Amino acid sequence: MSGYVHDVIVLGAGVSGIYAVKRLTDLGLDAVVLEADDDLGGTWFRNRYPGCRFDSESYTYGYSWSQEILETWHWKELFSGQPENLRYLNFVADRFDLRRHMRFGSRVEAMVWEEVDRVWRVHLSDGAVFVSRFVVPSIGPLSIPTVPDFEGREDFAGDWWHTHAWPNEPVDLSGKRVGIVGTGATAIQIIPAICDEVGELTVFQRRPNWSSPLNNRPISEQEMADIRLRYDEIFANCASTPGGFEHTPKWGFWDDTPEERRTLWDELYQQPGFAITGANYAEIYFDEKANQELSDYIADRIRDRVDDPVTAEKLIPRDHGFALQRLPLESGYFEAYNRPHVRLVDVTENPIERVTVTGIQTTAGHHELDLLVYATGFDAITGAYDRIRIEGVDGRRLDEQWRKSPRTFAGVLSHGFPNMIMVAGPQSVSGSTNFPRAIEGSVDVMAELLSRAFENGHTRIEAEAAAEADWVEEVKKYQERLLIRDSKGWFTGYNSNVAGHHEGTIRYQAYFGGAPRYNRFVGMLVDQGFPGVAFA
C-alpha cells in the first residue's frame, strides 16, 4: 500500500462530519476529515446568499452531545442566519480542537475498494492518495447544485452564479437589474431579502411552491436561559415526533367541523417554523380530500397577501398539495411581488429560449439584466455520491447500482461496498426530518459499528443482501402510503432539474416512516449486535 494511511477517513466537514470526527477521535481512532472547501461548515460555509437561515428552530438544530456547548452558546434568533450558523460550527470545532483532524481543499474524485488488503484507496483531485480501513461519507443531502443548461448560458456578460456559490465578498445589488431563476426554498429566502435593494427584480418561475411564514424573532437573554433549563425536554420532544421537531401532529380531521379546522390553521399560520405541517392533522398526509381543504386554505392566504390577482394565481401550485413536497418557509416572500419593480415571469407559459449577452430571452420577449442568479436547487440525497467514482467489490460502481434508486441498509451501509459507513445516507431519515437530530443518531450508529469492529479485530463490515432488500421494501412501503408518493420534488427524486430523474421514475431516497420508528430500528441493531451486517 502507498499513500496516507488512517483508521478512518471522513468525507466532509459539515454538520455531520464535525460530529463524526469528534466521536471517532474520542474512540482513540486515527481519523482524518477530507473537505473539498477551504474551511469547515458544509451547507453553512457554502450558502452565503442573502436571507439564508435555518428553518428549524435554532435550539433544536444545534448539537445535543456537549453540555458545555448547550450552556454557553446563545442563539440570537429563533431561526438563525447563515453567518451566525457558521460561527456556531467554528465555535464547536475550535472548542474541541477538531481542525487538526481536517484537511481542507481536498476534493475526492474516486474511492476504490481493495479486497485483498481490505482498505479503501481514496484519490484526490490534486493527485494525493489516502488509504484507510473505513470511509465515512458525511457529504450531505443538499451539497451538489444544479444549474440549467440553457443555450448561451456562458454568453451572459454580467455576473452570474448559483446561490450555492454566492461570493464571499459583499455583492453590491443597489440599482441593479437582477434576474432570479427558480422559486424553490432558496429563492423564497433570497427574493424578499434583496427586493428593496435592487433596481429591478425579475423572477423566472417554472413551478410555484407552497410556502408559509417562518415567523422569526429574536431570542432574549431570559428566553435563552429558559431554553437551557429545558434542553433535555426539547431533545426528547424532537425524538418523539415524526419530523424531529417539537411540533406534534394530531389525528381527528374529520371529527372537527370546517370552522374548527380553520381556527386551528389560523393559529398554526401565526406560529413559528413547521408548526403548520408538524402540529397539523396527520390526515393531510394520507387523505386527498383533507389535503385539498388545507391547500385551498393556504391558497386563500396567498391571494390575501398578493395585490395582483393574476400574479397570485401564478404563485399557487396546481401540481401538488400543500406540504407534499419539501415546504419552504418565508419572510415576506409573497409581499415582494407587490412592489412595482418586481416581476414574475411564468416560463411554462413563456419558456426561456436562451441566455443572451445582456439577459434572458423568452418566447414573449427579452429581459435585460445586470446580474443573474440561479436558485435552481440541488441533486439531492444521492448527488454527492454520484460525483465520486466509488468502486466496490469486483469493481462495481455505486452510481450504477443506484441509477434507478439508491439501495441501502438503514441508510448506513450498501451491499457490495464494504467498510463504507454512511452518515445521514440515502434512505435514512436525514432527508425527511430535522437534519441535526437525524445525523446525531446516524453518527452514533457509525461509532457503534466501528467500536465493535476494532474491539473484535474485524476488518470488513458489509450489509447482507437480504437485509438491504428488506430495508428497501420498508422504505417503499412508507413512501407509498403517503400522498408525497406522487410529488415531483427531491423527496421522491422525480426532479426535472436533475438528468435522469425526470423520466417518470419515482426514486426512494428518504425514509418516511418517521424518526421514532427509524430510531427504534437502528437502536435494535445496536442492542442485538447488528443483525443483517456481516463482520469478518
pLDDT tens figures, 65-101? 999 999 999 999 999 999 999 999 999 999 999 999 9
Does 355 have pLDDT greater than 80?
A: yes
Work out the mean pLDDT of the chain and round it to a whole number.
95
Domain of 437? 4-144+379-444+452-462
Q: Is residue 297 part of a domain?
A: no
Which pLDDT belongs to residue 497? 66
Which pLDDT belongs to residue 298? 98
- Digit-coded pLDDT (tens) for 374-407: 999 999 999 999 999 999 999 999 999 999 999 9
> Tell me, what DSSP letter sits at residue 378?
B
Q: Is residue 188 part of a domain?
A: no
C-alpha dist (Å) from residue 232 to 56, 239, 242, 417: 17, 11, 18, 37
C-alpha angle 489-494-495 in degrees, rounded to nearest 5: 65
Mean pLDDT calculated for residue range 337-348? 98
Crossing angle (nearest 10°) for helices 231-240 and 515-527: 100
DSSP structure string for 401-421: HTSSS---BTTTB-TT-TTB-
| C-alpha grid cell, residue 374 | 440561479
- Digit-coded pLDDT (tens) for 178-191: 999 999 999 999 99
Which pLDDT belongs to residue 481? 96
Can you say how many angstroms the Cα of residue 288 is from the centroid of all Cα atoms in its chain?
Answer: 26
**What is the CATH classification number for the domain harbouring 433?**
3.50.50.60
Torsion of CA 366, 369, 210, 336, to 10 degrees: -110
Report the C-alpha gap between 254 and 260 in whole angstroms.
10
Could you list the beta-strand ranges (E) of 207-341. Answer: 212-213, 329-330
Report the C-alpha gap between 133 and 457 in whole angstroms.
12
Q: Is residue 198 part of a domain?
A: no
Query: Which value, in Å, is the radius of gyration of the alpha carbons in the chain?
Result: 23
C-alpha angle 446-450-454 in degrees, rounded to nearest 5: 175
Q: Is residue 424 part of a domain?
A: yes
The answer to whether the Cα torsion of 233, 277, 520, 65 is positive or negative is negative
* Among 7, 4, 32, residue whose Cα is nearest residue 17: 32
State the pLDDT confidence band at 487, using cuts at 50, 70 and 90.
confident
> Would you call 314 helix, strand, or coil by DSSP?
helix
> Would you call 54 helix, strand, or coil by DSSP?
coil
| C-alpha grid cell, residue 237 | 420532544
* Among 374, 380, 357, 384, residue whose Cα is nearest residue 182: 374
Q: Is residue 499 part of a domain?
A: no
Paired residues of 136 in beta bridges: 10
Q: Is residue 101 part of a domain?
A: yes
Q: What's the structural domain count of the chain? A: 1
Could you list the beta-strand ranges (E) of 265-374. Answer: 329-330, 342-346, 352-355, 359-362, 365-368, 371-374
**Amino acid making up residue 201:** L
pTM for the model stands at 0.96
Q: Is residue 134 part of a domain?
A: yes
Q: Is residue 33 part of a domain?
A: yes
